[in-house]
Structure 1
């Protein structure tokens, strides 16, 4: 068993060159412990044991017989007979059988390789999903803390406005009118930047003609401030619910990951702090060539085609005669005739046997079967290459899309932060545009989550390409 385990690890041929040491360790654990992968490996070992079986000569045949009453001959009394015969297939038959079994074993090995890379992709995919989940939880908690700060700020402004409602009526009226004008212009803003700039510009020149709602000090101060508090509390409740859902999602995802490693579902999973951008250094056509030549399923079909070629050659040789060589031994005992002892010498007779395969239909059918199976494998390989090409093209499209989205959401996140800073400065000064602050804050949260998703999608797509090419691409 120790020797088999060593062979198993050598055949895995895992090259861990990714960025995270913890992910490398998980891939190694999965390769050693996953029961499905071990089942494929044992099937490969079983196929290897077929080679010595078909490559051996037929067992020798030994015939023995004894007479209950000695057979009387002139040369003496025959007590029995011993015959030993060894049959030999036609020249090259055994090597053809071994070649066919070896190619079939190689096909089983490629099935094992395909299962291994599929397992690695599942482990990576689930690990990246866990990373995205943890980042979403972190970003959600950060934004929840920011909203709670907004709530405190809105409460302070509400209390300040309530205590100073008797003074500054004109100023509060202008503020109310500015808030109304800004919310209208923000509907057509891009990424929150235009609304932030409009808010800052409008705040410098307050119109003197206010609405009827702005003429009351209590409405402009207390009512408006309290509505800001209620708005932010609505956002807080929504974000708390989102955070709780994300927390609940962690358990099944972690259980799925641990099951791939064949360990306890409650085992803790180490996740990287951050994912760096990953690029493929291969040219696209070279990557396609590597996929269509090195994909385990293509190599499996190549091995099967070679196996059927050997099977076709073997069927032809099976139609040739088999030769046999042996010896016949007959023991004699002396017999007495007229008082004279006669004979008694044992006899040894070399023998040759030859089979005559005159019924040709079965041998012709064997060759035809091998040819048809070989044709079927060729067609299946062509279809597999077409499917791999489609998956290669789709994966590259997804990778380009992930790269574009990553660049876009980085820029959108920066712009949203700048807009939010401008709006917060305006709100801290005169209490305007709080609704716009919340809207841009929600935009910022959305951009941050989409950025994490795009980065994870990038790594998952590269993992898919590595699964197709059966090699590391970085």
Structure 2
């Protein structure tokens, strides 16, 4: 009984060991090292480089012609004809082009922001899944230790039952010898022999009955104790197999996490020792407002709509003439006529140019194209808002479900522990209900695992809402 009490006390004093690493630190590493995120950022930088391109004037045109034989003119012999021309778009065209390129670059920046939010959510989700796995392993190991202690407890009861059976057999033999001795000593007289024979016979019958009952009870108790040992060993084998599977599941999760951080797949990852319940601090409609205002995909579509508005203005301006200004330079050399030098002064002639946009169909088509693209963006934005609203509603439902499950499994865990303590006390006293002890222990393990899952689901759902709103909600 003393050993049994010690084992029960050990069962009630389980300690946990955890790891610690900041999730924020992992997010920072991912933001700095992830190659896909770097690619999106370089796309944004490349889009920015388009702004100075479209905001610059067209390159000036220089044309030069040289005469193989100088052309004789009144002013002298013309050696060459050099022209330099600079074209100028219509007023406001360059500004509109820069505005359109800036909006497109802003749209590309929002694509980068969306990629960053998705990356951060993947890091958080994988981190939470690793935490769930580590907690599952820890709880399973604890329950495996408890089952092994149950096994030792059942073995102690089985051995105790075996010792009790041996003592009963010895007592039965002693009682039988004492009865036969009584009958022999009482045979000295006839009267007392009769009474001695009667007394001896009745003593033998009584001792045989008692020994038979004691032997049957001890055999029954021994069989029951051995079956308890076998039952708990079956549960141990099942739990050991589950534990091996959980440990094997570490490898792909760690590899996925390190891949997101652009590290070696086998690099060690440390996980925080505990996650507490989390709640949504903002009102639900405030979260939806934050999503519709801050979501990068909506901002990207807004930037595209503004860019197409600039494209419509550009299409109208392209239908206006382009102005050109330049200079024509003609070098002359003196020529001799009647023995006297004539001319020889170089000529400089200012020039202007003008394009005549008379083919209006292409300019009308450009404007119509921009209008249709703008309409498509507006429709796409409306659809995106509907999808985000649906995901917001689904996430809130999942969060409510996780909150309810967390509360339920915490209460169920406490009740299962109380029930298990009562059953263990009963089993330590009279050895009954061991199968019920194993069933409640399995139920307690199930509740513990479900409680961890519900808490992790809370954090994952909050991470989903933060991904949609592109901001911290707690």
Give the shorter-chain TM-score range.
Answer: 0.7 to 0.9
In the other structure, the counterpart of 1:376 is 376
Task: Give matches, 1:168-247, under 5 Å.
Answer: 216-247=216-247
Q: Deviation digits for residues 97-134 of structure 1, max 9, x if unmatched?
A: 11111100001000000000000000000000000100
| Distance apart, 1:165 and its partner CA | 2.7
TM-score norm. by structure 1 comes to: 0.85
Contact residue 166 and residue 217 of structure 1 kept, 8 A: no
1:429 is aligned to 2:390:
no
C-alpha separation in 2, matches of 1:214 and 1:373: 95
Task: Give matches, 1:52-201, under 5 Å.
Answer: 52-165=52-165
| Distance apart, 1:345 and its partner CA | 1.0
C-alpha separation in 2, matches of 1:118 and 1:214: 73
Contact residue 280 and residue 473 of structure 2 kept, 8 A: yes
Aligned pair in 2 of structure 1 residues 133, 225: CA closer, same or farther (>3 Å)? same
**Dislocated runs of 4+, deviation >4 Å:** 166-169
Contact residue 165 and residue 214 of structure 2 kept, 8 A: no
C-alpha separation in 1, matches of 2:164 and 2:220: 11
Q: Deviation digits for residues 331-368 of structure 1, max 9, x if unmatched?
A: 11111111121111111111010000000000000000
| Distance apart, 1:21 and its partner CA | 5.8
Q: Report the 3-state secondary structure (helix = DSSP H, G, I; strand = E; otherwise coil) of the residue aligned with 2:22.
A: helix
Contact residue 168 and residue 214 of structure 2 kept, 8 A: no
| Distance apart, 1:217 and its partner CA | 1.7
| Distance apart, 1:214 and its partner CA | 11
Q: Deviation digits for residues 251-310 of structure 1, max 9, x if unmatched?
A: 111001000001101101110000122222111001001101210000000000000000
Contact residue 66 and residue 79 of structure 1 kept, 8 A: yes
Contact residue 110 and residue 299 of structure 1 kept, 8 A: yes
In the other structure, the counterpart of 1:299 is 299
Q: Answer with 1 or 2: which has the greater Rg.
A: 2
Contact residue 165 and residue 221 of structure 1 kept, 8 A: no
- The two structures, once aligned, show a CA RMSD in angstroms of 1.5
| Distance apart, 1:168 and its partner CA | 8.6
C-alpha separation in 2, matches of 1:80 and 1:303: 52
Contact residue 132 and residue 453 of structure 1 kept, 8 A: yes
Aligned pair in 2 of structure 1 residues 168, 439: CA closer, same or farther (>3 Å)? farther
Contact residue 214 and residue 220 of structure 1 kept, 8 A: no
C-alpha separation in 2, matches of 1:168 and 1:416: 39
In the other structure, the counterpart of 1:199 is none
C-alpha separation in 1, matches of 2:168 and 2:434: 20
Contact residue 30 and residue 261 of structure 2 kept, 8 A: yes
| Distance apart, 1:219 and its partner CA | 4.1
TM-score norm. by structure 2 comes to: 0.85
Q: Deviation digits for residues 47-71 of structure 1, max 9, x if unmatched?
A: 0011111110000001111111111
What count of residue pairs does the alignment treat as equivalent?
Answer: 412
Q: Report the 3-state secondary structure (helix = DSSP H, G, I; strand = E; otherwise coil) of the residue aligned with 1:164.
A: helix
Contact residue 151 and residue 232 of structure 1 kept, 8 A: yes
In the other structure, the counterpart of 2:260 is 260
1:361 is aligned to 2:352:
no
1:397 is aligned to 2:397:
yes
Aligned pair in 2 of structure 1 residues 21, 99: CA closer, same or farther (>3 Å)? farther
Q: Report the 3-state secondary structure (helix = DSSP H, G, I; strand = E; otherwise coil) of the residue aligned with 1:277.
A: coil
| Distance apart, 1:435 and its partner CA | 0.5
| Distance apart, 1:216 and its partner CA | 2.9
In the other structure, the counterpart of 1:322 is 322
Contact residue 21 and residue 270 of structure 2 kept, 8 A: no
Aligned pair in 2 of structure 1 residues 214, 393: CA closer, same or farther (>3 Å)? farther
C-alpha separation in 1, matches of 2:126 and 2:355: 62
In the other structure, the counterpart of 2:202 is none
Structure 1, unpaired ranges of 5+: 1-19, 170-212
C-alpha separation in 2, matches of 1:115 and 1:31: 10
